[in-house]
Amino acid sequence: MKLAFLGAGRMAAAIARGALDAHLCTPAEIRATARTEPTRAAFAKTVGLKDHAAEAAIQPATENAQIAAAAEIVFLCVKPLDLVAVAREIAPHLRADNQLLVSVAAGISLADLQKAVGDAVPLVRVMPNTPALVGQGACAYARGATTTDHHTGLVEKIFGALGEIHAIDEKLIDAVNGLSASGPAYVFTVIEALADGGVLMGLPRVLAASLATQTVLGAAALVKETGHHPAQLRDAVASAGGTTMAGLEALEAGGLRAALIAAVRAGTVRARGLGAGLPP
């Protein structure tokens, strides 16, 4: 199966790896475009393309239309503000009968994308996150009006190789953006702050960072594997009058819970605003 990636950044490379891991294509069937040589080189390295193969497979962005025309699945991996313009650029070269267009951009609706490429082109809008780079992604997707179960099956195979994939109504996808797409940055901040707390209390920096990272990883695994509510697991750690209760009191006083909720809200609102002001 021939795949085209318009935009060859880290997420595009991760998706390409997912397609290879799902055995939906071979490296020779992957094509991509990118604006800069370093981006093209990084994509080739992640996907596993050799020098001679990469030279043919990864082209400048001026080749978007040519690359898209030859593919069965076209992934739009450009920045949100560039998405509609790229979609319009390739629209005359798309074939509605045997092509699927997949967008991974925040804020640009299926309706806006459909308007750019025509009503007949099958569309899927996916919201992945960066842990997909290590096979631990949390992704959700919404399908367009002409998209078939065969198309969504392909999407689930590709993104399922990168972690979890959920089918949702498009009205929820901006909230997915605010939670799971932006969420890794929130968690990175938590890890950094935990490590800084350890350093403040006398731990060596390397040890504090390792303990903080493994603590977050282990806590997440415990929630997932036991299926218990996070509050239940928290209460099991927080014994009466103990150190954990003292720490939780400090978190409540500092507004951690409210700050994280507000972060998800802000990310969602921003995602909804990205599509505003698009050219008619």
- Tens of each residue's pLDDT in the chain, 280 residues: 899 999 999 999 999 988 988 888 988 899 999 988 888 888 888 888 776 566 668 888 888 999 999 999 999 999 998 999 999 999 999 988 889 999 999 999 999 999 999 999 999 999 999 999 899 999 999 999 999 999 999 999 999 999 999 999 999 999 999 999 999 999 999 999 999 999 999 999 999 999 999 999 999 999 999 999 999 999 999 999 999 999 999 999 999 999 999 999 999 999 988 877 666 5
Strands 137-143 vs 123-127: parallel, antiparallel or unpaired: antiparallel
Element (H, E) at 211: helix 205-226
Taking the CA atoms of the chain, what radius of gyration do you get in angstroms?
21
pTM of the model: 0.91
Selection from 220, 219, 218, 211 nearest residue 193 by Cα:
211
79 contacts 11 by C-beta, under 8 angstroms:
no
Element (H, E) at 34: strand 30-34
Domains belonging to the chain, first-starting first, are 3-170 (3.40.50.720), 183-273 (1.10.3730.10)
